[in-house]
Amino acid sequence: MNVLDFANSIEGYLLVSSVLLILGIFAVLTRKNAIGILLGVELILNAAGINFVAFSKYHSAALEGQLVTLFLILIAAAEAAVALAIILRFYRLKQTIDADEASLLRH
Amino acid sequence: MSNGMKLILLIAELVTVGSALIVAINPNILYSAVFLLFAFLGVAVMYLFAGADFLAGVQIVVYVGGVTILILFAIMLTQWLYRLKLKDIGSKFVIPGVVLALGLVPFLHRGLTELGKMIQATPPEKMAEFAASPKTQAIGKALLGTHVLPFEAITILLLGALVGAVWLARPRT
């Protein structure tokens, strides 16, 4: 199988999504910056979306996978908005967004 | 699909992977956020080639136009742009992160090969027909028909997230 056909197959899609998942997990674990952790979470969510869309085409040829990805994108948007609001609030309290500093339940 | 189109898809996948790599390992959070934008664009092109035209549009509008700008906005509000504290790789979890991320590789590889065998049964002409058909009308009908309950749940979630985010980021009184 040459590389062009591989890129157009489900294996190509799943390989890209696996790499995105691994890099997202790596970013979540290694970043100290709270926004860096959020970037990793976005990568993981995109990996899941690619999987749903790829199976929607290559396996069932039906629309359900695309609908799940649509809901996933909307949930990710809501999650990013709330997370950034929390980060801004935390920055106002502590003058830093280092995740190691977020160790108290109260302020 | 012609070889030229396949080449475009291959380039999009390489851009996605390369940008995601920079997002994960670049020590400067601002560069990471900018390359996240390219990763999202690559994913949008991949959606297009998988027959998800509507989703590609949503991906660009929500992720590229919304989430990335929001993240850049938050970075610039919370940090001095050229302050070296931006560089944040080197936490104590680097080695566990590498081990855990690479430990997933055999499982993912195994799953990929098994799924590749499973998928062979789908007829290619049905797949091509699905990929070529426009989806916007079908998605609209599904959202207000068979999938109306998750659709309404998402609207409540978005309202809650909107109010919650505004309340959290309110000015100090």
Q: How far is A103 from chain B (nearest CA, A)?
A: 16
Q: Which of A26, A40, A25, A60 is nearest to B51 (CA)?
A: A60
**Residue A84 contacts residue B153 (beta carbons within 8 Å):** no
In a domain, A19, yes or no: yes
pLDDT digits (tens, 9 = 90+) for B151-172: 999 999 999 999 999 998 888 7
Could you tell me if A93 and A107 are in contact, meaning their C-beta atoms sit under 8 angstroms apart? yes
Distance from CA of B118 to the nearest CA of A (A): 9
Query: Do B73 and B118 share a structural domain?
Result: no
Residue B24's domain comprises 1-89
Do B164 and B84 share a structural domain? no
* Residue-level pLDDT at B80: 62
Q: Band of the pLDDT at B99, cuts 50, 70, 90?
A: confident
Q: B164 and B111, same structural domain?
A: no
pLDDT of residue B84: 47
Say whether both B9 and B82 belong to one domain: yes
Chain B neighbors of A79, CB-CB under 8 A? 161
Other residues' Cβ atoms within 10 Å of the Cβ of residue B172: 6
B44 vs A: CB within 8 A = no
Domain range for A18:
3-101
pLDDT tens digits, one per residue of A26-76: 888 888 888 889 999 999 999 999 999 988 888 777 888 899 999 999 999
Q: Which amino acid is at B49?
A: F
The ipTM value here is 0.90
- Is the model more confident about A56 or about B118? A56
The answer to the question of residue A106 being in a domain is no
Residues of chain A numbered 3-32 and touching chain B (CB < 8 Å):
3-5, 7-16, 18-27, 29-32
Domain tally for chain A?
Answer: 1
Q: What is the 3-state secondary structure (H, E, C) of A20-36?
A: HHHHHHHHHHHCCEHHH
Interface subset of A 61-100, CB within 8 angstroms of B? 61-63, 66-67, 69-71, 73-82, 84-89, 91-92, 96-98, 100
Cβ distance B67 to A80 less than 8 Å, yes or no, reads: yes
Domain count, chain B: 3
